[in-house]
Amino acid sequence: MPTRRLSIVLAEDSLLLREGLASILDRAGHEVRDAVGDGDALLAVVRKNPPDMVITDVRMPPGHSDEGLRAAAAIRAELPAIGILVLSQYVADAYLSSLLETTTGGIGYLLKDRVGHVTEFLESLDRVADGGTVVDPEVVRQLLARRRNDGPLSALTPRELEVLALMAEGRVNGSIAEHLVVSEAAVRKHVGNIFAKLRLDEGLDRRVSAVLTYLRG
Amino acid sequence: MTVWAALASPRYLISSWPWRSYAYLLTSVPMGAVSIVVLVGLAALSAVLSPILIGILMLTAFPLVGAVIGWVERRRAGMMLVDGIKSPHAKLPAGLTRRAKLTFRRREQASMRALGYGFVLGVFVWPLSALFAGLSVTILLTTLASPVIADGDQMGMGPWTMDTAEEGLLFLVLFGPPYYVVSSYLLGVIAGAEASLARAMLGPRQEELQRNLAELRRSRLDLVDAFETERVRIERHLHDGVQQRLVGLTMTLGLAELDLPDGEGRRLVVKAHSEAEAALADLRAAVRGIHPRVLVDHGLEAAVREVADRMPLPVTLQLSVPTRLPGPIEAAAYFVVSEALANVAKHAQASTCEVTGWVDRDRLVITVQDDGVGGAQLGAGTGLTGLVTRLDALGGTLDVDSPSGGPTRLRMECPCQLGD
């Protein structure tokens, strides 16, 4: 259970899901400051009074294409301090790459099904609020399936790939160690190897860069 | 082979064509006479009955009489035209009542043309045929019989007069062959002209042929389009209705789990939660089979990529389709790739698979190639058979090349526009 109270703006056009999300967030002790049904309304309320977090659906009226995503991009450009969690009905990497290309954390991309796992969902929310990057495990699985053998990731061992995949889910070292049933020191060693093999720029958040490299294949 | 080609042949006189010409011309006599009697009779009857309305109603039946005459005449023309005359009438739409069928035929231009032909046949053609063929047959028979006739009687043929059998025989030998030659060619020309007239008036016009073809294509396209619209509607319904409710249900169950103490009640809620999620997964799979949302939103490449990502084997994807294509085409292409990949995963024992797509001169071409065992067939109860029909309606094709031992290569082609 989260220890702090986040102020959240919710954008979701289905009334049913909006209410469901609101009651989950409410139950977890967060403040749902506004709940809107389209991208323009989202931008308007966020600009007026920036919240800690924005949770938005991808498809919303009027066009039912990627209004939520465009609103999210605009918010990220104007108010980078706001954490953004995007909910999508299905895996489409067209969404994912446009979301992750320009960003350095504080962002999440989850399938709507995930919301039903309330505890996990609230944990993801927390990680995004802390500046982490969270990508839905199912999305990660599908992207992994597509991985070609000539990318920068070909240098990694299977175990290192596994660790990287868990990083992409937004887990910290302790959680990864727990998941793989190894010591945290072992995980730290793997993470160090990953950073070295991917030749990541020291100036950036290497954890985020590694995950982005991973997701781009 | 037509009578015109036969006339130019040196073997014309010993072929069956002179006799066919006679037969065609002579049969046109009863046919023409019956036609004109029926037509004039009907016209007179309707004129008489016109005060009581039924006569006027009868007039509308005339094109149908024409259609019947046309039907008989097209068959009779088979004597002169080896290929016969193709029917100019449009194919009747399915599911019409007898009355609607008659109305349909009555309104066809081809029926009116056939009626016109009936009058021409009844007024000009058969008297002409009767005159030439009748006269010619009479002269020919008389000439053949001249030794017998001249034997018992004095016989005058034009400028000649014959009194004895010998004279008659001489006449037969001297006059018969030249007359046969001249009359055969003359009647061949007349019969050929009549058959050509019949073909011109009773056969299909070029635009009728094209119209029929275009109508057929149009209606098939409409059907495909209607199916597509319906699929999208069903998908939307499931997506916006049932699916949202199921997500809502999993949320509620998720919340309930948090509040319940450990025990039987909580165990049941957790079970219900996972069952609701299974239902959601099933529903999602079903929706994908009907019409995937990602196809509507993001087009062919994104949708195919999603399918490829779900495959148990690595799939290399190279699609360069610059623009969005019309819905039915995108859907057909999507389902072809989707079905092909499913078959590869199920039967091919392949380790890799490659999907390539491009647009070549306004045609969408997609190939799916694996490195499996081959031996795949289109007709062998695969889901691809239905897709062949679907592609066909769009003007596209699907070919499978799968020698035993592999590899299998599937290639689909489809115009990028609907109904061009």
**A113, A209: one domain:** no
Residue A1: inside a domain: no
B407 prior amide bond cis, ω within 30 = yes
CB atoms closer than 10 angstroms to residue B338: 23
- pLDDT of amino acid A215: 66
Instruction: Identify which of A17, A94, A146 has the shortest CB distance to residue B309.
Output: A146
Q: Give the start-end residues of each E strand in B118-194.
A: 155-157, 160-162
Q: Which residues of B touch A89 (CB under 8 A)?
A: 239, 243, 293
- Whole-number Cα distances in Å, B359 to A39, A138, B239: 35, 32, 32
- pLDDT of amino acid B294: 81
Check residue B215 and report its DSSP letter.
H
Q: Which two tokens stand for residue B395?
A: 């003007």
**B274-299: string of b/e by CB count within 10 Å (b at 16+)?**
eebbeebeeebeebbeebbbbbbbbb
B257 touching chain A per CB within 8 A: yes
**A211, A104: one domain:** no
Sign of CA dihedral A157, A162, A163, A169: positive
**A55, A110: one domain:** yes
Instruction: Convert the pLDDT of each residue in B363-383 to its tens digit.
Output: 999 999 998 888 887 776 667
Residue A12: name the closest of A39, A30, A49 by CA. Answer: A39
CA B112 and chain centroid, separation: 23
**A114, A63: one domain:** yes
Q: Which residues of B touch A119 (CB under 8 A)?
A: 254, 258
Interface contact flag, B309 A113, Cβ < 8 Å = no
Give CA–CA dist B13/B180, Å, rounded.
9
| Segment A63-82 mean pLDDT | 85
**A96, A192: one domain:** no
Give CA–CA dist A216/A97, Å, rounded.
8
- pLDDT of amino acid B355: 93
Residue A128: inside a domain: yes
Residue type, B20: R
Nearest C-alpha in A relative to B309: A142
- pLDDT of amino acid A2: 47
* Domain count of the fold of chain A: 2
Interface contact flag, B294 A146, Cβ < 8 Å = no
**A132, A153: one domain:** no
- pLDDT of amino acid B410: 92
Check residue B93 and report its DSSP letter.
P
| A7, β-bridge pairs | A31
Residue type, A58: V
Give CA–CA dist A107/A134, Å, rounded.
6
Dihedral pair phi/psi, residue A130, rounded to 5°: -85, 5
**A154, A122: one domain:** no
Give CA–CA dist B67/B106, Å, rounded.
8
Residue type, B160: W
Characterize the bridge pairing of strands B155-157 and B160-162. Answer: antiparallel
Nearest C-alpha in A relative to B293: A90
**A16, A114: one domain:** yes
Interface contact flag, A115 B252, Cβ < 8 Å = no
Interface contact flag, B306 A142, Cβ < 8 Å = yes
Q: Give the start-end residues of each E strand in B249-312.
A: none
Give CA–CA dist B116/A62, Å, rounded.
61
Q: Which residue has the higher pLDDT, A201 or B34?
A: B34
Instruction: Convert the pLDDT of each residue in A14-43 to its tens digit.
Output: 888 899 999 999 988 999 999 998 889 999
Residue A106: inside a domain: yes
B14: left (phi over 0), alpha (psi -120 to 50) or beta: alpha
Give CA–CA dist B139/B126, Å, rounded.
19
Instruction: Convert the pLDDT of each residue in B65-86 to its tens digit.
Output: 888 888 888 888 888 777 777 7
Q: Which residue has the higher pLDDT, A212 or B107?
A: B107
Residue B364: name the closest of B303, B298, B295, B411 by CA. Answer: B411
- Residue that is last in its domain, among A91, A111, A136: A136
Interface contact flag, A16 B284, Cβ < 8 Å = no
Nearest C-alpha in B relative to A94: B302
Give CA–CA dist B173/B191, Å, rounded.
27
B352 touching chain A per CB within 8 A: no
Mutate to test the interface with B, among A88, A89, A120 (most CBs of B within 10 A): A89
Q: Which residues of A touch B279 (CB under 8 A)?
A: none
Q: Which residues of A touch B236 (CB under 8 A)?
A: none
| Long-range own/partner contacts, residues B172-177 (CB < 8 A, 24 or more apart) | B172/B143, B172/B144, B172/B146, B172/B147, B175/B143, B176/B143, B176/B144
Residue A2: inside a domain: no
Residue A141: inside a domain: no
Check residue A112 and report its DSSP letter.
G
Query: Looking at CA atoms only, how far is residue B303 from chain A in angstroms?
Result: 8
Q: Model confidence at B106, in pLDDT bands (50, 70, 90)?
A: confident
Query: Looking at CA atoms only, how far is residue B62 from chain A in angstroms?
Result: 58
Tell me the average pLDDT of chain A: 82
Instruction: Convert the pLDDT of each residue in B130-186 to its tens digit.
Output: 888 888 888 888 888 877 777 777 777 777 777 777 777 887 888 888 888 888 888
Residue A13: inside a domain: yes
Q: Which residues of A touch B254 (CB under 8 A)?
A: 24, 115-119, 121
- pLDDT of amino acid A217: 55
**A125, A185: one domain:** no
Mutate to test the interface with B, among A57, A146, A147, A149 (most CBs of B within 10 A): A146
Interface contact flag, A17 B310, Cβ < 8 Å = no
Query: Looking at CA atoms only, how far is residue A44 from chain B in angstroms?
Result: 25
Q: Which residue has the higher pLDDT, B191 or B150?
A: B191
Helices B165-202 and B62-76 sit at what angle, rounded to 10 degrees? 130
This prediction has a pTM of 0.60
**A22, A73: one domain:** yes
What's the CA dihedral at B344, B346, B351, B353 to 10 degrees? 20
- Residue that is last in its domain, among A90, A114, A136: A136
Interface contact flag, B293 A90, Cβ < 8 Å = yes
Give CA–CA dist B343/B312, Å, rounded.
12
- Domain of A211, CATH number, reads 1.10.10.10
Query: Looking at CA atoms only, how far is residue B297 from chain A in angstroms?
Result: 6
**A15, A107: one domain:** yes
Most confident residue range from A48-62, A129-143, B141-155: A48-62
Give the range of the structural domain holding residue A180, as residue numbers without chain letter.
147-216
Say yes or no to pLDDT of A1 above 80: no
Q: Which residues of A touch B252 (CB under 8 A)?
A: 20
- Residue that is last in its domain, among A114, A136, A158: A136
Tell me the average pLDDT of chain B: 83
**A121, A173: one domain:** no
Q: Model confidence at A199, in pLDDT bands (50, 70, 90)?
A: confident
Query: Looking at CA atoms only, how far is residue B304 from chain A in angstroms?
Result: 11
Around B146, how many Cα atoms within 13 Å sit in the side-chain half-sphere?
24
- Domain of A70, CATH number, reads 3.40.50.2300
Residue A161: inside a domain: yes
